[in-house]
Amino acid sequence: MGLIDDARMVAAEFEYSADDVNKGVKEFIRQMDEGLQETGKSMSQIPTYVTAVPNGTEKGVYLAVDLGGTNFRVCSIKLNGDTTFSLTQSKVAIPHELMVAKTSKELFSFLAKQIESFLKIHHSDHFEEHHQRRQNGAEITDEHFLQLGFTFSFPIHQISINKGHLIRWTKGFDIADAIGKDVCSLLQSEIDALHLPVKVAALVNDTVGTLMARSYTSPGKTGTLLGAIFGTGTNGAYVEKLEKVTKLKKMKEGGDFDASTGNMIVNTEWGSFDNEMSVLPNTPYDTALDKDSNNPGIQMFEKRVSGMFLGEVLRRAILSMIKDGMTELFKDESSGTNDVHSTCTIADDSPLYKQWGIDTSFLSIAHEDQSAGHHITRQALNRDLGVDAASSEDAQAIKILVEAIGKRSARLSAVAIGAVIISTGNLSLTAGDGRDEEEKAVLEEDVVDIGVDGSLVEYYPRFEEYIREALREIESIGEKGEKRIRIGIAKDGSGVGAALIALVAGGREGGS
């Protein structure tokens, strides 16, 4: 058996059939329902206390801040009321000493000072007017305050739209006295200490922000059902019927929210779907990756879908072929058997031998490569992986593996999207039941709008095409249903999305 046949055998381990997709969807829906009823389940299904999505007509000026890692971003978003907006922003690095400060006050005081600096530059009239009102003892009401959405990308126990207790720090932060405290209150206290005209109106998850940003900017009148991230990680937030979120009644600390819409946006945390591995596909490469990860047995869906892990799955598949001894990958008996007339070698310090050594960008390059003799992939093998003089057959074998891993990721992504659409019953809500489906285009009222963000869905070759192929194979969707699903990029959930959540939290009244 030749090298290409060997590669196809390994690639076959990543096949995810139509039957697998349908089994996955049924289990995904079951775990969604389970998470809506009780806490502590595989799928967290976290109530966000956001009960409405924008429709593009909202106006006003809102602030958003984003503490997602080593940088802090401050944004001002002007919503124009016609699905468009303008954004002004500044970004500053967090000094390391503040990431490990003795008290939370040190960090949050720094954040508030960045907001103050931003206001002085970009909202100087508003800042000065507020200062004058204070000096003159004039009445200051809520309408004089700018509403702010706070994207805080650390584990939080959220108990209302603007209240959430820090569970733990990640990403190099370690400030012990902040654990268990309400991060919105911590920020508001320091804002108040500087007498700034700013109210922390909403605590924001960036996936929920993606949903909001897409709903504001999407074409037509249809509200967005789902915001999904397919990038370094994966997650989804969607609009659920409030009556289905039954665990709200059991939650002791549950905060107030506007129940008049009959809806609640739910943050699925679907990266942990099927941690029990009842329906998720598995290969020896997935098993080894999980075993050597820093969270074995956790985030099992994410480890098969997201960009952070696809390169590592590929690396382990390649190594299995190299170490097998039965395949001819990167092996030449002599330079005469290699079409570049040089013997293929792998550098001793090749990233192939290092955990996380392959970046997902390599998969994109190989997947997209249509060059003669797979020249582009061979260049990438040399440049990125230290594989010198790989043959065209070697590159073709790598491409076969890459396509299988990328396609499985997209088909699994379709399971999540399809399950949310079916579970919420959106495909059964149609305005055009009397129409000839074959002859007429999909009516705007029949569109199911999905907002997506992340490097995979935006840049990975054919990712959406593979998602749609799998959606057509789902029994409750089919070809007719798939045509009604509109997938659009939603940018900047942590900025624009956060501002829109501040708007919803503030009762849809524009800032000044």
For residues 157 and 67, give the distance between their C-alpha atoms in angstroms, rounded to a whole number: 16
Q: Are 244 and 36 in contact (CB under 8 A)?
A: yes
User: At 51, is the secondary structure helix, strand, or coil?
Assistant: coil
- β pairing state of 59-67 and 71-80: antiparallel
Phi and psi at residue 179, to the nearest 5°: -60, 130
For residues 435 and 278, give the distance between their C-alpha atoms in angstroms, rounded to a whole number: 41
User: At 177, is the secondary structure helix, strand, or coil?
Assistant: helix
For residues 114 and 499, give the distance between their C-alpha atoms in angstroms, rounded to a whole number: 17
Residues 6 or more apart in contact with residue 1 via CB below 8 angstroms:
none
For residues 182 and 200, give the distance between their C-alpha atoms in angstroms, rounded to a whole number: 12
Q: How many CB atoms lie within 10 A of CB 57?
A: 13
Helices marked H in 80-150 = 96-99, 104-122, 124-136
Q: Which residues pair with 129 in a beta bridge?
A: none
For residues 102 and 118, give the distance between their C-alpha atoms in angstroms, rounded to a whole number: 26
Which residue is listed with tokens 């939080």?
156
With DSSP H G I counted as helix, E B as strand and the rest as coil, what are the percentages for the chain, rounded to 5? 45, 15, 35
- β pairing state of 198-204 and 163-166: unpaired
CA 369 to chain centre: 27
From 49, 62, 243, select the one nearest 160 (Cα to Cα). Answer: 49
Tokens representing residue 338 in the block: 């290699």
Tokens representing residue 21 in the block: 């997709």
User: b/e string for 482-494 if b means 16 or more Cβ within 10 A?
Assistant: bbbbbbeebebbb
From 57, 76, 49, 82, select the one nearest 147 (Cα to Cα). Answer: 76
For residues 123 and 56, give the distance between their C-alpha atoms in angstroms, rounded to a whole number: 24
Residues that are catalytic: 153, 168, 206
Q: What is the DSSP string of 193-237?
A: HTT-SEEEEEEE-HHHHHHHHHHHHSSSSPPEEEEEEESSSEEEE
> HEC profile for 427-446?
HHCCCCCCCCCCCCCCCHHH
39, 42, 48, 53 alpha-carbon torsion, rounded to 10°: -140
